[in-house]
Amino acid sequence: MTEQFYEAPTVEQVSELVAAKFGKAVQLKGSKPRRVYMSADKGVLFELATYIHDVLNFEQASSVCAVDYESHMTVVYHLSNYFNGMMIELTVDLANDDLTVASVAPIWGGANWHERETYELFGIVFEGHPKLERLLTPADYQFFPFRRSYKLRRSD
């Protein structure tokens, strides 16, 4: 394990360290000032999230959300650093017939409700989540309303 960051790594350090540690399992999609974009395989997500939290010192998961691309679904994580205002955008692609992914709620407490919301609106199951129940919609609701296949009455 490399050195622990007590403050903040730079954009270049994040890209280099993640590429060195995870190799082909994580694809770097580019960077801008204070932004790093990357995409990870489903299998390494939990390990990568632990690394980003523990070593790179990204203390907060700003947001977890999903996008339904119809051919597949994507879970998008926005991870923030409180020392230099950097944000990592991490995407994980899921096949439509296997909508499960590891939960990052044990690492970032703030991701807890974001994952619950994503589960009830898209039907993505987060394995290892402490309480994966419906939050905004009633408990006996039968649908996943934010999927593209769920049409609004007057939509075209």
Partner 1 sequence: MSKMWVTMGPQHPFSHGLWTLKVQVDGEVIQDAEPVIGYLHRGWEKECENRTYPQIIPMADRLCYSASMTWSHLYCKVAEEAMEIEVPERAQYIRVIADEICRIQSHLMWLAAMGTDLGNLTIFLWALREREWFLDLNVKLCGQRLTTNFPRIGGVRNDMPYLFERDLMRVVDLFEKRLWDIIALTDDNAIFMSRMQGVGHVTRKEAANLGLTGPSMRGCGVNFDVRRDDPYMVYDELDWEVAVCDDGDSYGRYKVRIEEMFQSCEIIRQAVAKMPDGPTRVKAPRNVPEGTHVARLEDPRGESLMYLVSDGTDRPYRLKVRSPIFVNVSASKRLVQGGRMADVPAIMGTIDMCLGETDR
d(CA 124, CA 16): 31
Binding pattern for the stretch 88-127 against partner 1, x by CB under 8 A and - elsewhere: -x------------------xxxxxxx--x----------
135 contributes a contact to partner 1 by CB under 8 A: yes
Which is nearest to 40 in space by CA: 90, 100, 5?
A: 90
Q: Who contacts 15 (Cβ-Cβ below 8 Å, separation ≥6)?
A: 28, 31, 36
Helix-helix angle 45-54:11-22, to 10 degrees: 140
- 84 vs 100, which CB is nearer to partner 1? 84
Q: Torsions phi, psi of 91, nearest 5?
A: -120, 145
The stretches of the chain forming alpha helices (DSSP H) are 11-22, 45-54, 111-122
41 contributes a contact to partner 1 by CB under 8 A: no
Of 15-23, 39-47, 72-80, 96-104: span binding partner 1 (CB under 8 A): 72-80
| CB of residue 51 to partner 1, shortest distance in Å | 16
39 contributes a contact to partner 1 by CB under 8 A: no
d(CA 75, CA 106): 17
Of 13-21, 40-48, 96-104, 132-140: span binding partner 1 (CB under 8 A): 132-140
136 contributes a contact to partner 1 by CB under 8 A: yes
* Contacting residues toward partner 1, per CB under 8 A: 34-35, 59-63, 65, 67-68, 76, 78, 80, 82, 84-85, 87, 89, 108-114, 117, 135-138, 145-146, 152, 154-156
